[in-house]
Amino acid sequence: MDKKEYGELVKQTSPKTKEGKTLFLAFAIGGLICMIGQAFADLLTAVIPSFDEKQIGALTGVVMIFLGSLLTGLGVYDKIGYYAGAGSVLPITGFANSIVSPAIEYNKEGIVFGLMAKMFSIAGPVIVSGVSASVAIGAVYYIIGLFR
Partner 1 sequence: MEIFLTYLKVFAVGGAVCAIGQLLINKTKMTSARVLVTFLLAGALLEAVGLFRYIEDFGKAGITIPITGFGKTLAAGAIEGAKQGLYQACTGGLAAVAAGFTAAIAFGFVIALISKSKPKST
Should residue 127 be labelled a site residue for partner 1 when binding is judged by CB under 8 A? yes
Say if residue 87 is exposed, middle or buried (CB neighbours under 10 Å; 0-12, 13-18, 19+). Answer: buried
Q: Which positions ≥6 away from 55 have C-beta within 8 Å?
A: none
Nearest distance from C-beta of residue 52 to partner 1, angstroms:
13
Should residue 27 be labelled a site residue for partner 1 when binding is judged by CB under 8 A? yes
CA atoms within 13 A of residue 15's CA, in its CB half-sphere: 2
Quote the radius of gyration of the chain (alpha carbons, Å).
21
Should residue 59 be labelled a site residue for partner 1 when binding is judged by CB under 8 A? yes
Should residue 38 be labelled a site residue for partner 1 when binding is judged by CB under 8 A? yes
**Residue from 43, 107, 110, 113 in contact with partner 1 (CB under 8 A):** 107
Nearest distance from C-beta of residue 4 to partner 1, angstroms:
19
Per-residue interface string for the shown chain with partner 1, residues 66-105, x marking contact by CB under 8 A: x--xx-xxxx--xx--x-xxxx-xxxx-xxx-xxx--xxx
Q: Are 38 and 98 spatial neighbours (Cβ–Cβ below 8 Å)?
A: no
